[in-house]
Amino acid sequence: MQKVLAIVSSLLYDVDVPEGERTTIELGEFIRQQRQRANLSLRRLADRAGISNPYLSQIERGIRKPSAQILKQLSRALSISAETLYSRAGLIEDGPNPPTVVEAIESDERLTPRQKQVLLEMYRTLLETSSEKET
């Protein structure tokens, strides 16, 4: 409860909250959002992940910081990648941004210049068609 109050205070009164506590609370919020998106009750997710209801509740509220093993169990129960939770928990660094579609096509050595040109034209046409439908 103290951590939650600290976050609320920081938002209201511009007080600094230690980064580790902020990460724990943000992780808990993310897990809650994923649980709700999957239409799972707290009890059902706890059962699927093999952890207790109170422990999961504490994780979601940012009171407890789960281990890598618990994050792995939660990721399986939520059908999301463990790396997503590890990254949100600050256990791993986010890697470099993946290449764009254009960069991937242009850098693929297995494609001939003509194949690259055709793929890029098709891709750009699809993007144009998609943006026209949205407007």
Element (H, E) at 123: helix 113-134
- pTM over 0.75, yes/no: no
Q: Are 94 and 85 in contact (CB under 8 A)?
A: no
Q: Are 74 and 45 in contact (CB under 8 A)?
A: yes
pLDDT values of the chain reduced to their tens digit, one per residue, 135 residues = 555 544 544 444 444 445 556 778 899 999 999 999 999 999 999 999 999 999 999 999 999 999 999 999 999 999 998 988 998 898 887 666 677 888 889 999 999 999 999 999 998 999 888 767 665
